C-alpha cells in the first residue's frame, strides 16, 4: 500500500507528514517494491516510538505489517519464537509469557514493534533484547535478497546495533526476529527493586530453590508493567518517545569526583546511583543527573520534562512543536554538562 502526504504515526504525537508512506504485509510484497522509484531518503519505522520528527519528512516512510508468530520447541527446554517485524513488541511479551516462556518478561510494556526492538537493542530491568535474540532476518534492498544475521553478527551494544551504523543503516529492512527463550524458570530480578516487588506480588513465600513461590513469566511481566505505568506516561494519553537520553557510561574516576562533590554538598551519607559497566567504568542514570539539575517537571513551550520520570520528555500541551522538544533537549544537555562534566546523548533518533 502506497499513500501520499499522510500523517506519520509517532508516539510523540508530532503533526508531521511524509511525502510517501509505504506499508507491506509480507516478505513477498516487500520484495516487489521498486525502491528506485520511491522518493529518497527512505526511512523504516515501527510504530513511531523512539523517534522525534523535526518536521515533515520529504522522502518515503516504510512500515512493516508482517505480524506472524511461530514457535519451535526443543527437547532441552529451549524454545525459539520467530516474530514478524510488525508485531507489537509488548504483545509478543504477553504472548510468550502466557506460553510459560522465560526471557522477554522484563521487557514488558516497552512501546514499539519487534523489528525496531532488534535495531535499537531495547532494554529494561537488567535485560537487553540482545540477550534473547537468536537471529535477525532482513531484506537487503541493494542485492534484493533476504539474509539472516546471527545475533553475534549484529554488533549489539548499549542501545546500538550494526543496523544503526553508516553503510548498513537503510540498506537492511528487518522482516522477522527469532528469540531464544526457555521453559526453565530463569528470572532476572536483580535490577533495582524488582525482586522485592515480585516477592510482594508472590505473597512473600519462597520455594525450595529460594525463588518466590508461584513465580511465572506472566507474574514478572505484570509487576514490570505496573512499575513502568507508575513512572512513565502512557503513549495513548501523553505524547513521548520513551526514555529520551541514554544513561552515560563514565570512567570510575569521573564517578568518584561526582560522588565527592555531592557528599561535600549534601553530607557524607549522600549517594550517587550507579551500576558497573565494564572494567573501570560506571553507568550513572541520566534521570538522576537531570533531576539534580532541577529539570524534573519543567515546562518549555508545549514540551516538558515528565514529572514522574525526568528521563522522559513529553508533548505536554498535546500541540508541542518539534522546536519545543529540541530546545528543551539542548538546555538539559548544557545544564548537565555544566554541573557534572558529562555529555548526555539522546536515545531518540532525530529525523
Residues annotated as catalytic (active site), given as ranges: 159, 243, 347
How far is CA 320 from its chain centroid? 22
Beta-bridge partners for 212: 206
Comparing C-alpha atoms, which of 40, 43, 46, 39 is closest to residue 11? 46
The helix/strand/coil state of 44 is strand
Distance separating alpha carbons of residues 239 and 112, to the nearest angstrom:
14
Residue 317: partners with Cβ closer than 8 Å, 6 or more residues away: 301, 302, 303
Q: What φ, ψ does residue 243 adopt, rounded to 5°? A: -60, 120
Contact 230, 308 (CB under 8 A): yes
Mind giving me the DSSP string for 87-135?
SBHHHHHHHHHHTT-BSSGGGTT--SBHHHHHHHT-EETTEEGGGTEEE
Beta-bridge partners for 139: 146, 173
Does an H or E element contain 286, and which?
A: helix 286-292
Amino acid at each position: 500500500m502506497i499513500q501520499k502526504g499522510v500523517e506519520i504515526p509517532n508516539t510523540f504525537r508530532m503533526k508531521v507528514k511524509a511525502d510517501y508512506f509505504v506499508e507491506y504485509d509480507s516478505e513477498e510484497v516487500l520484495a516487489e517494491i521498486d525502491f528506485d522509484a520511491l522518493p529518497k531518503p527512505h526511512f523504516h519505522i515501527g510504530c513511531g516510538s523512539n523517534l522525534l520528527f523535526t518536521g515533515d519528512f520529504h522522502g518515503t516512510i516504510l512500515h512493516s505489517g508482517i505480524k506472524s508468530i511461530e514457535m519451535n520447541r526443543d527437547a532441552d527446554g529451549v524454545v525459539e519464537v520467530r516474530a514478524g517485524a510488525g508485531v507489537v513488541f509488548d504483545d509478543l511479551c504477553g504472548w510468550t509469557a502466557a506460553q510459560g516462556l522465560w526471557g522477554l518478561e522484563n521487557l514488558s510494556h516497552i512501546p514499539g514493534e519487534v523489528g525496531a526492538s532488534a535495531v535499537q537493542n531495547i532494554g529494561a530491568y537488567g535485560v537487553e533484547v540482545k540477550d534473547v535474540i537468536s537471529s535477525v532476518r532482513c531484506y537487503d534492498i541493494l542485492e534484493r535478497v533476504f539474509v539472516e544475521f546471527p545475533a553475534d553478527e549484529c554488533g549489539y551494544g548499549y542501545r546500538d546495533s550494526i543496523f544503526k551504523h553508516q553503510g548498513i543503516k537503510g540498506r537492511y529492512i528487518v522482516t522477522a526476529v527469532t528469540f531464544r527463550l526457555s521453559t526453565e524458570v530463569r528470572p532476572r530480578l536483580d535490577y533495582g527493586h524488582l525482586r522485592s516487588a515480585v516477592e510482594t506480588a508472590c505473597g512473600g513465600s519462597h520455594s525450595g530453590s529460594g525463588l518466590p513461590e508461584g513465580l511465572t513469566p506472566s507474574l514478572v511481566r505484570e509487576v514490570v508493567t505496573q512499575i513502568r505505568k507508575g513512572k512513565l506516561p502512557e503513549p495513548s494519553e501523553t505524547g513521548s518517545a520513551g526514555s529520551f537520553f541514554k544513561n552515560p557510561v563514565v570512567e570510575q574516576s569521573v564517578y568518584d569526583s561526582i560522588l565527592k562533590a555531592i557528599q561535600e554538598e549534601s553530607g557524607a551519607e549522600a549517594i550517587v546511583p550507579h551500576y558497573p559497566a565494564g572494567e573501570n567504568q560506571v553507568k550513572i542514570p541520566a534521570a538522576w543527573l537531570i533531576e539534580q539539575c532541577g529539570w524534573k517537571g519543567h515546562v518549555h513551550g508545549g514540551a516538558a520534562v515528565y514529572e514522574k520520570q525526568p528521563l522522559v520528555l513529553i508533548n505536554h500541551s498535546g500541540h508541542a512543536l518539534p522546536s519545543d522538544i529540541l530546545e528543551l533537549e539542548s538546555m538539559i544537555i548544557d545544564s548537565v554538562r555544566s554541573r557534572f562534566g558529562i555529555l548526555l546523548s539522546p536515545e531518540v533518533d532525530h529525523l
